[in-house]
Amino acid sequence: MSTLSNFREKYGPWALVTGASSGIGFEFAKQIAAKKLNIILVARREDKLQSVAKDVHDQHGADVKVVVADLTADEGIEAVKRATGDIEIGLLVNNAGREDSGHFLSTPLETALNTLDLNARAPLKLTHHFAQKMADRKRGGIIFMSSIVSFQGVPFIANYAATKAYDLIFAESLAAELKQHNIDVIAAAPGFTETGLSPDFEFTGLPIKPIPPALVASLAIKGLGKKRLTVPGAVNKFLYISGKYLLPRSINTLSFGMVFRAVLRKKLGNI
């Protein structure tokens, strides 16, 4: 889509963004509103959502609705469905996510299951619901938030990496399957990003620089309808290409494990 009117015609009139209270979700909301779509913001923190809603409306003049929902629970999913029952959602952004890094055996099972619910089950449920309506209208778009860790196993963030692999494969599969309904699907696979996803990450003294969330959102929006995967950031692209074409998966797992051992050194302690 090369013009604002074309983008709105294909993916409007409303977009729904999960995890919209900060970080990448906030950027998705702003950048999509700039393309003249109205926005539904979904997250758990009402005060944050109201602040985002005001910013998006004041900057871009979009109509903005707020839905406070915990997407790890069935009631949260149902709350989103009820709030959007009479609204035409042309673009779904499955951005909400959480991570549970650290020693797997030290992670409470409930914590790991919450990560699975938010990162995998919620996108599955929301996509199944809204894609049905998009298929009936023969137009629409869906964006999935995957990760650079989705391409191989990664020690110390195993469950999170597995959920992001699900998001990646799900997105790529639907991109092919839903094409007949004129629904565009893309997965974004960023690496470390300047968000509050994990307060345990420590980059001091490391040659690693998180990328800005605005870049992640802009490349996903730009790639929608043109490609099925976007890997933002030069270093991340190098890791993706080398991992796919040059190195065996076992080496990728080892190298990524070393990175996370360093980034999580305070949380992991001596191992």
Active site residues: 160, 164
Q: Which amino acid is at 50?
A: Q
Residue of 144, 220, 145 whose CA lies nearest to 178: 144
Q: Phi then psi for 30, rounded to 5 degrees?
A: -65, -45
Residue of 215, 224, 156, 222 whose CA lies nearest to 190: 215
Which structure tokens are listed for 236?
Answer: 């991340």
Virtual CA dihedral for 192, 116, 218, 58, nearest 10 degrees?
-110
| CA angle 92–38–49, rounded 5-degree value | 80
- β-pair partners for 211: 193
Residue of 59, 234, 236 whose CA lies nearest to 148: 236
Residue of 1, 45, 42 whose CA lies nearest to 19: 42
User: SS in 3 state form for 83-137?
Assistant: HCCCCCEEEEEECCCCCCCCCHHHCCHHHHHHHHHHHHHHHHHHHHHHHHHHHHH
